[in-house]
Chains A and B, each alone.
Chain A
C-alpha cells in the first residue's frame, strides 16, 4: 500500500521556467511533509518542509504548497536552474504518533527532474 505517491516519474523543464512536482498521500494521520533532493551517487538531502497547520512554506526559489482536503502537496521551483536536475522525493510523517516516530518517514517513489539550459 503506497501511502505517498508521486505519479510523475519524470519532468522536463526549460531553464528559467517553473518546475512543479506533485505528491499525493492517502494516510490522513500524516501531519508533516518534507521534500528531499537526490543527486546520483549521493544520499537524499533535505530541501523544504511544511506542517499540516500551514498551507504554504517558502524558502528562496522553493515553495511547498499543501492542500489537506485533497491530500496533495506540490513543490514549486522558480526559476528552475540546470543544477536543480535531480530526483525529488516527497516524504510524510505522523508527529502525533509520538516522539519515537519522528524520522520514520514514508517516502514517495521520486520524480526525476531535468532542467534544460
Chain B
C-alpha cells in the first residue's frame, strides 16, 4: 500500500460528459501529480501541484483541469469527454526532502489508478 488513495477505481461514462477523479496523497506529502496511461503508452505527465499551487504542467488538454485543496487532496476534472480520453489515470505524491530548502523527491508514490472508459 503506497498510502496514496484514488477514487473511484473504475469509471464508465459517455462522450461529452464530465467526470471528477479524486486523490488523497500520503500523509505529509505536499506534492501531488497526475499522470495518464493510455494503451501502448508510457505514463504521460499531466500536472503537478505543491501545497495548493500549480507547479508544473505537461501535455494536459484544455478540457482537463485540476486543483489541490487546503487539506492537500486533489481532483482532476475531465470535461467534454472523447473516446480517446479512455485511459488509466494515476495520482502520485512525493515528499519534500528535509534540509534541502524545499526540494521535492523524484521518488513518487503512486495510487492504484482510476480506469476511465468513455463509450
Contacts and interface: CB of A to CB of B under 8 A. Distances in A.
Query: Do A and B come together as binding partners?
Result: yes
Interface of A: 4, 6, 32, 34, 36, 41-46, 49, 89, 91, 93, 95, 99-110
Contacts of B113: 43
Interface string B12-34: 00000000000000000001010
A104 B110 contact: no
A42 B112 contact: yes
Given A105-B106, A107-B42, 20 more contacts: A32-B106, A34-B107, A41-B112, A43-B92, A43-B113, A45-B110, A49-B106, A49-B107, A89-B42, A93-B106, A100-B50, A100-B56, A102-B94, A103-B56, A103-B104, A103-B105, A104-B48, A104-B56, A106-B45, A107-B35
27 contacts: A6-B42, A34-B107, A41-B112, A43-B112, A44-B43, A44-B108, A44-B110, A45-B2, A45-B110, A46-B108, A49-B106, A49-B107, A99-B104, A100-B50, A102-B103, A103-B31, A103-B33, A103-B105, A103-B108, A104-B33, A104-B56, A104-B58, A105-B43, A105-B45, A107-B43, A108-B42, A109-B40
Contacts of B42: 4, 6, 89, 107-110
Nearest to B93: A103
Interface of B: 2, 4, 31, 33, 35, 40-45, 48, 50, 55-56, 58, 90, 92, 94, 102-113
A89 to B, nearest CB: 6
A42 B17 CA distance: 26
Contacts of B35: 107
Nearest to B44: A107
Contact of A103 (B40, B43, B48, B111): B48
Contact of A104 (B40, B41, B45): B45
Nearest 6 pairs between A and B by C-beta?
Answer: A43-B110, A107-B42, A102-B104, A107-B43, A100-B55, A109-B42
Secondary structure class of chain A's binding surface, majority of residues: mixed
A106 B58 CA distance: 10
Contacts of B110: 36, 43-45
B22 to A, nearest CB: 15
